Amino acid sequence: MNIHEYQAKELFDRFQVPSPSGRVASTPEEAAAAAKEFAGAKLVIKAQVHAGGRGKGHFKNGFQGGVHLIESPEQAAEFAGKMLNETLVTVQTGEAGKLVSKVMIAEAVDITHEYYLAILMDRATCRPVIVVSTEGGMSIEDVAHNTPDKIVRQFIHPLLGLQSYEVRKLTAALGLTGDIAKQFAKLLGNLYKLFISCDCAMLEINPLVTTPDGRVLALDAKFGFDDNALYRHPDIVAMRDKSEEDPREVAASEFELNYIGLDGNIACLVNGAGLAMATMDIIKHFGGDPANFLDVGGGASKEQVTAAFKIILGDPNVKGILINIFGGIMDCNVIAEGVIAAAKETGLPIPLVVRLEGNNVEMGKATLAASGLNIVSADDMADGAKKIVAAVA
Ligand code: GDP
Ligand code: MN
């Protein structure tokens, strides 16, 4: 799960990570009112979407840039009018872009230098890693590609936590000294606490800036949380903005289905993540293209199977469905009844191939055969994949 920059500021405030104050607005009037609250200050207006690269992005209406320095409430309203309910395309959104339904008005600061700071969960070492660079404010992918030696990583022992010698090493790597170094050390300690306490998967500040009046501030924020730990954080779950997510994935998560939308035209409904991966592979092997990854889990109910069917059929690219079930914990006949109920409820406008194996498989196949629905039965995975690929060709 991700959150918006204006929401990230709440967490920064809670953990004492200094960042310029900001207010969110959904209309030009609200933007003007927000700007008035910072009377006298220089301001910045920023489109709120779950994607970076906003500054260099463009709107489909031709307006350039999702981040602008502004000077008055009137200008806040004017720029908000050009951004709100418009689609912003950045290097991270893809061609489709993202609809902007909120902007943030924040106090603008003068910048001495832009740095990069991130904390990520590193899978290879099973440790948090802190990544810093003196080359902030630009795409970190470009820095990694052009000047890899300008990126410094510090792996952190998960039980020992962030040590002061590690902080000193990172401070030195950024060339920070004196009071700025002290502020950075405090900020980094607090940011690490935030990362661990909130079960973040990644936390990126690009840029972290120093100012002419001698402050260190987080000027941008990108947060990702570990979905499996969200049950511990109802306050963070409350920040979820479903309009930023793939609607198919939102529907799937409501029924506790593991669904990931893909670009192909053969929908898969499978029990077990490993079998789901293998099913996608074998569809590819026989020349097809999977439309999704969908794992209904070990003990799927009829309601879940029906929900899965509806999500699959809601994707206009889907031209055929392959159901691949291994009845281990699961009774094949329960799945067969779920499939029939779902097919009757939703209609079955496209070819459906079903491969069942395992517990009570004979009964399951008999139930499908007796249903009168136009279901093609497959003997094994390869047979099922060949049949669905042929059916959508
Ligand atoms: P991103 O493009 O989505 O990563 O959005 P950022 O929040 O990082 O803003 C993009 C760029 O705008 C930053 O790298 C800064 O150079 C500039 N910017 C953002 N806020 C301010 C500000 O308060 N003052 C100044 N001078 N520049 C800013
Ligand atoms: Mn940024």
CA of 66 to the centre of ligand 1 (A): 10
Pairing of strands 266-270, 43-47: unpaired
- How far is the C-alpha of 209 from the C-alpha of 110, rounded, in Å? 9
- How far is the C-alpha of 120 from the C-alpha of 215, rounded, in Å? 25
Using pLDDT thresholds of 50, 70 and 90, give the confidence band for residue 214.
Answer: very high
Cis peptide before 207 (omega within 30 of 0): yes
CA of 2 to the centre of ligand 1 (A): 20
**Looking at the chain, which runs of residues are DSSP E strands?**
2-3, 22-25, 43-47, 58-59, 67-70, 87-89, 98-99, 103-107, 113-122, 127-133, 151-155, 200-210, 216-218, 222-225, 258-261, 266-270, 292-295, 320-327, 352-358, 375-378
| CB 128 within 8 Å of CB 199 | no
Name the active-site residue from 6, 116, 192, 259: 116
Using pLDDT thresholds of 50, 70 and 90, give the confidence band for residue 304.
Answer: confident
pLDDT at 298 over 80: no
111 lines ligand 1 (CB under 6 A): yes
pTM for this predicted structure: 0.82
Residues 7-36 pLDDT 10s: 999 999 999 999 999 999 999 999 999 999
Name the active-site residue from 5, 30, 204, 244: 204
- How far is the C-alpha of 89 from the C-alpha of 2, rounded, in Å? 18
